[in-house]
A and B are shown apart, each in its own frame.
Chain A
Amino acid sequence: MSEVKDTQGQLWEVFIQTKKGLPFKHAGSVHAFDKEMAIQNARDLYTRRGEGRGMWVVPADAIVAVDPSDDESFFDPSNDKIYRHPTFYELPEGIKNM
């Protein structure tokens, strides 16, 4: 076996779902040497006070991020398309269930 380096493991990002049905939110990161350890470490660090019902861990280097300098071209166009928002539409008074 080749010489094993002494490290703190890999970096994993942790996402927690506080209640079934809600989206997963980024909670922070943990170090671990493999998947099983990452899940356990994340549970021990981020759910000691009942903060979660569901959890994902992802190796940090698997995450693809939008570069902040691309913000304008990446995100602004969707701001222009205001017809995507429910408040764009005028509805007759008295309408129900919409």
Chain B
Amino acid sequence: MERLDLSKFCIRLGDSCLIMAHRQSEMCSKGPFLEEDIAQTNLGLDLLGQAEALLIYAAKLEGNGRTADDLAFRRPEREFYNFMLTEQPNTDFAFAIVRQYIMALYLTKVYETLAKVEDETISGVALKAVKEIAYHERHLGMWVKRLGDGTNESHDRIQTAVNELWMFVGELYEEDDLDVKLQEAGYAISGEEMKAYLMDKISAQLADATLSVPESVYMTTGSKKGIHTEYLGYMLTEMQYLQRAYPDAKW
């Protein structure tokens, strides 16, 4: 893999992890009970760790003097490449669970694949992440079942979340030129494979939770080109505030 392509790849993955971690951290002190507050923060910390490792490596590969913090705190919205799914808000607990669960499934496959690549930095990050994400899948899957097969209210809420977040799932198995290069080098599985895997897993889990798979009418696209939903701008405004307000300061 070429250095700059690998860097771009790490930024894409790192951005998704970062934005996911950020959304997760917004839930701190707002959990339905204290134990779940801790559980969600744990997931957030794992993702933040993955984001940091990936962005550090991306900056190194880029080799133009930018640091991981520069990438996180000084890029504008149109230069972020996280999936749109990751920036969807914590409308309620069900939305947070569905968003994170689908991403956990995706990341499982991604890290499994990366654990076997030649590049030692990346395989190192992946080997650690695989163990973390396995726990995420377990925890989040547990909640999908309990919310789906809990009360009428919880069932309705999580079905709504699934319905409204469905349009963002398509990006997870899209392929562009970089994806094709990654596949050829063994850094990614094909879009078809990813789609089949995701659909299998999701439909099985939803069925178990007495939920239905929405009919795919329209799948959104664009994050690989820096096109996002209106949420990202606000998130970055908050996240980047101190670094932008005090550009010469070191924190």
Contact = CB atoms under 8 A, between A and B. Distances in A.
B139 interface: yes
A70 interface: no
Interface of B is mostly: helix
Given A9-B33, A44-B35, A45-B38, A4 B138 contact: no
Interface stretch (A31-39, A60-68, A88-96): A31-39
B38 A37 contact: no
B147 to A, nearest CB: 12
B67 interface: no
Given A45-B38, A48-B42, A40 B142 contact: yes
A41 interface: yes
A16 interface: no
Contacts of B36: 41
A44 B33 contact: no
A31 B35 contact: yes
A40 B138 CA distance: 9
A36 B142 contact: yes
A36 B39 CA distance: 13
Interface string B129-142: 00000000011001
